[in-house]
Amino acid sequence: MNDIYMDHAATTPVNQDVIKAMQPFYSDKFANPASSHLPGQKSAAALEDAREAVAKLVGTKKAEEIVFTAGGTEADNLALKGAAMALSKQGKHIITSAIEHHAVLKSCEYLEKHLGFEITYLEVDQAGLVDPQKLRDNIRKDTILISIMFANNEIGSVQPIKELAAVAGENNILFHTDAVQAVGQLKIDVNELGVDLLSLSAHKFNGPKGIGALFVRKGVELTPQMSGGSQERKRRAGTANLTAAVGMGKAAEIAAANLTKKSKELILLRDYFFSQLKSNFDNLKINGPAPKSENRLPANINIAFKDLDAESILFNLSLNNIAAATGSACASGSLSVSHVLKAIGLEDKYAKGSIRFSLGKGNNKEEIDYVIKKLKEIIARLNSLK
């Protein structure tokens, strides 16, 4: 069996059509989009075409509402810090959830430590979901921003974003969502959802690394976090990463065209995976929403084995050419239990044995059968060593 890659939540392979689209911009069409000469104007046109493709993917007809960034982390930083600094005179209270990506949590920590903001971290239920009523109950007169992730990168919880954004809208509070894991798997329409800010990253939907974007609804004020030139309509300084932006645009175009088909295929594979796990393992706990729940990402399988060590399981999977993860790749190397698993109240005897499989391009039932076979051998061996 060839290498089996089931860690698409960490990153995805770049689509060959994306690579082909990017190639000319490395050498032949390399001009700076900010230059006024003809080659520069052609580069600027290519940049705007990419912006329009990304805009279409998230449901806005206003391409100028898309700000290119260096990735999802920068997009989150720009959203949180940029909005907080711009609105600091109106209030210094921000609401987020206890299971956000570290890009959001660390931004909140920075605002709290250095700029005097107060952060409320909403608890989630056992499925990792935020209750809209709980959000409503925690709003204060000085609340200026609410940031709740669209879908969790570890346990796959898909939040009721439309309802949560409506609560923010009722109170005239800006609403941001980190949709890095959702874009490319779920239909996104920023206007239907009612969000003001939305983060995404190209390498999560078969685009290149090093490029992301932030949707910024027209009229929303942000304090730039990069000082320099007037690029991105004065919202993000720095020479545009044209080649990567073109790649992101092409990946967005492909993702939009294939979204329904891809989502259905992933759900079928995910459900098959869960059925095989249920048939072959006792003492197995599923982390996050129920396997077939609409509140679970199509590609996400997060499970926990009682009284076993996740790193040992992953090491043995790797020896069998299977790539999986314990959770967020951004937190790899940490021996502590994930903040997400703590937030959903998972007992330590399960939390330490939690692993995540995330499906994507190239995965099939044959690979799943092989993974189940090897996983049975690994779990049996590890249990015998207790």
> What amino acid positions are annotated as catalytic residues?
330
Instruction: Copy the structure tokens of residue 221.
Output: 């004020």
CA geometry: angle 381, 332, 182, nearest 5 deg: 105
Torsion of CA 269, 272, 274, 280, to 10 degrees: -140
* C-beta separation of 357 from 6 below 8 A: yes
156 Rama sector, left if φ>0, alpha if ψ -120 to 50, beta otherwise: left
User: Rounded to an integer, what distance in angstroms lies between the CA atom of residue 87 and that of residue 117?
Assistant: 11
Neighbours of 189 (CB within 10 A): 12
- Sign of torsion over alpha carbons 376, 378, 381, 384: negative
Instruction: Copy the structure tokens of residue 291.
Output: 């396997």
Helix (H, G, I), strand (E, B) or coil at 135: helix
* C-beta separation of 324 from 6 below 8 A: yes
Neighbours of 311 (CB within 10 A): 13
Instruction: Copy the structure tokens of residue 367.
Output: 């690979």
User: Rounded to an integer, what distance in angstroms lies between the CA atom of residue 188 and that of residue 48?
Assistant: 20
- Phi and psi at 17, nearest 5°, equal -70, -30
Extract the runs of DSSP E, i.e. beta strands, from the chain. 4-5, 66-69, 93-97, 118-122, 143-147, 174-178, 197-201, 212-216, 284-286, 300-305, 322-323, 354-358
Residue 67 pairs with which residues in a beta bridge? 214
Instruction: Copy the structure tokens of residue 325.
Output: 């993860």
Q: How many residues does the chain have?
A: 386
Q: How far is CA 315 from CA 170, 307, 322, in A?
A: 49, 16, 9
User: Which residues contact residue 12 at a Cβ distance below 8 angstroms, ignoring those fewer than 6 apart?
Assistant: 203, 204, 205, 206, 360, 361
